[in-house]
């Protein structure tokens, strides 16, 4: 039997919503809240037992061809078929609330695929912090199966960790992601994530918003606004001064104005914030990810944040209890267990033992 435990951080998209699917760039960063995936492969087991803190009773997968509608069960089925491992136990422990839109589904897919692929080649990963690169493509395949065309920005960001600028090519059924990892020093001081909305199912929100963008010829405007926002974020992070911050606030206002007509735009929240002093001058805000009412970003220096936070609280929104971090996906623990017969001692054989090449299952240290 072999066991592995991996950690996948949450993520927040700063810029690039929808434009990344049309040739643009995205900018996203990981959080210090995440998901732990523990997989024990038992070669003698005929099915997978799946446990999660999201439900009370375990779920079972007996084969690799019966359609699975649950996202976790489908990920386990997919990874088991890819690796030829047909039985054992999978346990998911997550503090990524699905209504926040901070990458719970992509973390699950990446964590399951990463754990299975690393278990398949234990000698390659027993002393290695990161997940196998093959897990990226496998997780993206699962995501595309669920959502249609998917960029995979979230999977790559969670795999790499930190502040990640991303684009991708897709042709001939081949996904080719490209990314660059930026320094995120200072990001926590000016980007504040608030949650508490009604949530927005990713697949349906993407489809509706995509149709809305296509129907009125907004794509050219989308690319201009989005690329300007990515550039403004990078400029403000790398050269934080008054001019770069004003540029970022203006770019954020332009992005929000573009999406204001989207059927999923949080109009009530926009109305509540519209009359606050300094909007789009000293501070700004925008939706993030698929949009809707998952999470919103407030761009503000600490002194200008208080009145905004108070108004958001009145509307039911609160700051997320997490910070941006450089941590990416990591293998926390690997173990192998040697099982012997009940009479092993009488035969002069060793007793059952475990060998571990673990770090600990506490929050992972930053890695490069």
- Are 242 and 340 in a shared domain? no
Query: How far is 288 from 193, CA to CA, in rounded Å?
Result: 9
| CA-based nearest residue to 54, from 93, 88, 104 | 93
- Residues 247 and 158 reside in one and the same domain: no
- Same domain? For 165 and 267 the reply is no
248 and 171 in a common domain: no
Question: Is 361 domain-assigned?
Answer: no
In a domain, 139, yes or no: yes
- Determine, yes or no, domain membership for 365: no
Same domain (yes/no): 158, 251: no
Query: pTM of the predicted model, to two decimals?
Result: 0.87
| Cα–Cα distance, 53 to 91 (Å, whole number) | 8
State whether 71 and 84 are in the same domain: yes
Q: What is the pLDDT of residue 198?
A: 63
CATH of the domain at 206: 3.30.70.890
Asked if residue 161 lies in contact with residue 328, where contact means CB atoms within 8 angstroms, the answer is yes
In the structure encoding, which two tokens stand for residue 243, read together? 């001019």
Name the 3-class secondary structure at 94: strand
**In this structure, how many other beta carbons lie within 10 angstroms of the beta carbon of residue 32?**
16
Same domain assignment for residues 250 and 274: yes
Pair 8, 26 in one domain: yes
Rounded Cα–Cα distance for residues 180 and 202 (Å)? 25
234 and 135: one domain? Answer: no
What CATH number does residue 59 fall under? 3.30.230.10
Determine contact, residues 156/139, Cβ cutoff 8 Å. no
**Is 366 among the domain residues?**
no
Q: Closest Cα partner for 38 from 92, 84, 77?
A: 92
Nearest to 283 by CA among 314, 246, 320, 254: 246
pLDDT score, position 176:
93
Supply the pLDDT for residue 331.
Answer: 93
Whether 364 is in a domain gets the answer no
Does residue 269 form part of some domain? Answer: yes
Domain that holds residue 254: 187-319
Q: What is the DSSP letter of 159?
A: H
Q: How many CB atoms lie within 10 A of CB 63?
A: 12
Question: Does 314 lie in the same domain as 338?
Answer: no
Residues 341, 254, single domain; the answer is: no
Provide the domain count of the chain: 2
**pLDDT means over runs of 10, the chain (368 residues):** 94 93 94 96 95 87 89 95 95 89 93 94 70 93 88 96 94 87 90 80 71 81 94 92 94 92 85 92 88 83 88 92 94 70 33 40 39
Q: How far is CA 61 from CA 64, 73, 259, in A?
A: 8, 7, 41
- Whole-number pLDDT of residue 368: 33
pLDDT of residue 199: 56
- Within-domain flag for 168: yes
Tell whether 362 is covered by a domain.
Answer: no
Q: Do 179 and 209 belong together in one domain?
A: no
């Amino acid at each position: 039997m072999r066991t592995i435990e991996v950690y996948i951080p949450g993520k927040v998209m700063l810029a690039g919503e929808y434009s990344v699917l049309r040739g643009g760039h995205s900018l996203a960063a990981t959080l210090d809240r995440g998901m732990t995936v523990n997989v024990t492969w038992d070669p003698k087991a005929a099915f997978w037992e799946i446990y999660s803190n999201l439900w009370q009773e375990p779920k079972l997968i007996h084969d690799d061809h019966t359609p699975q509608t649950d996202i976790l069960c489908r990920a386990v089925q997919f990874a088991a078929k890819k690796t030829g491992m047909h039985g054992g136990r999978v346990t998911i422990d997550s503090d990524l609330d699905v209504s926040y839109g901070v990458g719970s589904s992509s973390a699950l897919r990446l964590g399951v695929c990463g754990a299975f692929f690393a278990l398949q080649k234990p000698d390659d990963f027993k002393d290695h912090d990161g997940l196998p690169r093959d897990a990226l493509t496998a997780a993206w395949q699962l995501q595309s199966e669920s959502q249609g065309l998917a960029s995979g920005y979230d999977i790559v960001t969670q795999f790499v960790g930190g502040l990640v600028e991303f684009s991708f090519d897709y042709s001939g059924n081949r996904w080719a992601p490209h990314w660059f990892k930026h320094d995120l020093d200072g990001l926590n001081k000016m980007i504040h994530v608030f949650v508490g909305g009604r949530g927005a199912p990713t697949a349906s929100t993407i489809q509706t918003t995509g149709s809305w963008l296509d129907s009125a010829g907004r794509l050219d405007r989308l690319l201009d606004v989005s690329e300007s926002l990515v550039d403004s974020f990078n400029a403000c992070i790398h050269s934080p001064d008054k001019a770069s911050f004003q540029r970022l606030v203006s770019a954020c206002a332009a992005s929000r104005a573009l999406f204001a007509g989207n059927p999923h735009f949080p109009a009530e929240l926009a109305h509540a914030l519209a009359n606050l002093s300094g909007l789009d001058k000293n501070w700004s805000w925008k939706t993030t990810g698929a949009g809707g009412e998952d999470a919103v970003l407030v761009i503000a220096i600490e002194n200008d944040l208080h009145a905004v936070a108070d108004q958001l609280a009145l509307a039911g929104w609160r700051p997320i209890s997490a910070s941006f971090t450089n941590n990416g996906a990591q293998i926390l623990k690997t173990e192998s267990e040697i099982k012997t017969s009940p009479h092993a001692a009488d035969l002069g054989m060793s007793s059952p033992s475990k060998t571990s090449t673990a770090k600990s299952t506490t929050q992972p240290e930053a890695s490069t």
